[in-house]
Chain A
Amino acid sequence: MEALVQASQDALSLLFSGDKELWEIVGISFQVSLLALIIAIPPALLLAFALAYGQFVGRRFLIALFSTMLSVPTVVIGLTLYVLLSRQGPLGEWRLLFTQTAMMLGQITLAFPMLVSIGHSALQAADRRAWETARTLGASRLRALLTVTYEVRFGLLAAVLASFGRIISEVGASMMLGGNILHHTRNIPTAIALETSKGEFAQGIALGLVLLVMALALNVLLHHFQGKGYVGS
């Protein structure tokens, strides 16, 4: 118990003293995950929209496929991309393994099905009259899409925040694809895993606190926006 208290005190000290290494790890985490999310959102939203409003062969299969992909373990995604990106793999010539780009690819692969699946649910629950009214009032498909997106923005924001929470805290894919290299590919979850395996808990607790505060902030943000969406407000 005493060790835990001491580790927690050290963790707070690391956080508030502005420990360079610790905040660099936090920075890499946010940089990689935010970029991965920004890259994944537009195609995922378009696909979610096509699944919600389109009528084409294989639509139901795709919906089931993306729902299934939500439960694929991150290490399996890490392993698949590792095989593809390793020197003997078909994408080995890209020399991306153990880079931030490889981590980003892993996180995009993780975020994409979540954005599609939750985004599709939000768009499907949207009032179909929104799309039809936009179209009948002369809006182009793109403008109608943006209009409906705005109408269901809280549902879509939930998809974005849930996806961000998933990718910034995943350890399997980042560890396998990034290699946990200090100053380059070490992010919050891989650093926590390493420090814990060494028996050094202070930095792990400090980074865990950052993740917890971030999760709390994201949820407060979501509830704040949802509160504004109240019909009577």
Chain B
Amino acid sequence: MTKLQFQGISKYFQDRHLLQEISLPVWQGHCTLLTGANGAGKTTLLRILAGFERPDTFEVQTSLGLLNWRQYKKTLSSRVLYLHQQPYMFEGSVWANLDYALPRHLSKLERAERIEEALTWAVLEALANAKAKNLSGGEYQRVALARAWLRKPQILLLDEPTSNMDQEARLRTVHLLGQLRSEGMALVVASHDPDYFSSLVTDHLHLNQGQLLPVPLHAKRDNGNVTTLRQSL
């Protein structure tokens, strides 16, 4: 897959037309930043792309042709990974949580090798046997990213991945996301902190009143005014 073109995505919540015929191209190795006010529909859009929320209208142009929602869920949603704002950790250790992301057919030795690699990649070696539910917010995110790294989806959807994190944890998260992007993963990031992703972002879209509007890179919407983005963290 080099490109998926989502188009005509609409979603009503009772009388409110939350998403209005939205089009969203997703490119391999690109990072699309989604911004918008609270309640603008960023999370809903990501959840639709993840296959968790049923849209009212939906189409996606792929190499297989034009797919509707049902076909997309059946054929492509398994190649999409969604990370919640606060990632969920299963009962058990960090190791067990990483193991969950691996295909079932791998041997025990292969699993162990890949988990070791993932632990090293996300700098989680010291926490391998720690109870996952007891980790800090930043560590949660790193375990979640390590699961994504093991799973190798084509599209990684991230809902506010750096919220409630300190500066160091944010930098680490952005660094890991950069690595995932450079491996060819398409990232779609919904965030209130566009500054933190300036080094990653290739496309910036702003969701406002159900419409998705392109925002020129190196500029951001700030209370309706366009201001210069910080170039580095």
Contact = CB atoms under 8 A, between A and B. Distances in A.
B96 to A, nearest CB: 11
A198 interface: no
Given A147-B90, A231-B134, A132 B52 contact: yes
Interface stretch (A77-85, A104-112, A133-141): A133-141
A150 B82 contact: no
B129 to A, nearest CB: 15
Given A134-B90, A135-B51, A232-B134, 5 more contacts: A129-B88, A135-B52, A136-B80, A138-B151, A147-B90
23 contacts: A127-B88, A129-B84, A129-B87, A130-B88, A132-B50, A132-B82, A132-B84, A132-B88, A133-B84, A133-B87, A133-B88, A133-B90, A134-B90, A135-B52, A136-B81, A137-B81, A137-B147, A138-B101, A138-B103, A147-B90, A147-B100, A150-B91, A151-B91
Contact of B90 (A132, A138, A151, A232): A151
Interface in B13-53: 50-52
Contacts of B3: none
Contacts of B101: 137-138
Interface of A: 127, 129-130, 132-139, 147, 150-151, 231-232
A132 B46 CA distance: 13
Contacts of B88: 127, 129-130, 132-133
Given A129-B84, A231-B133, A136 B90 contact: no
B228 interface: no
B163 to A, nearest CB: 15
A130 B51 CA distance: 15
A48 to B, nearest CB: 20
Contacts of B50: 132, 136
Interface residues of B, number: 20
B132 to A, nearest CB: 11
Contacts of A135: 51-52
B182 interface: no
A232 B133 CA distance: 9
B104 to A, nearest CB: 8
Interface string B47-88: 000111000000000000000000000000010111010111
Contacts of B82: 132, 136
B14 to A, nearest CB: 16
A140 B223 CA distance: 44
Contacts of B84: 129, 132-133
A231 B89 CA distance: 12
Nearest to B88: A129
Contacts of B78: 138
A11 to B, nearest CB: 44
A129 B159 CA distance: 13
Contacts of B81: 136-137
A127 B85 CA distance: 14
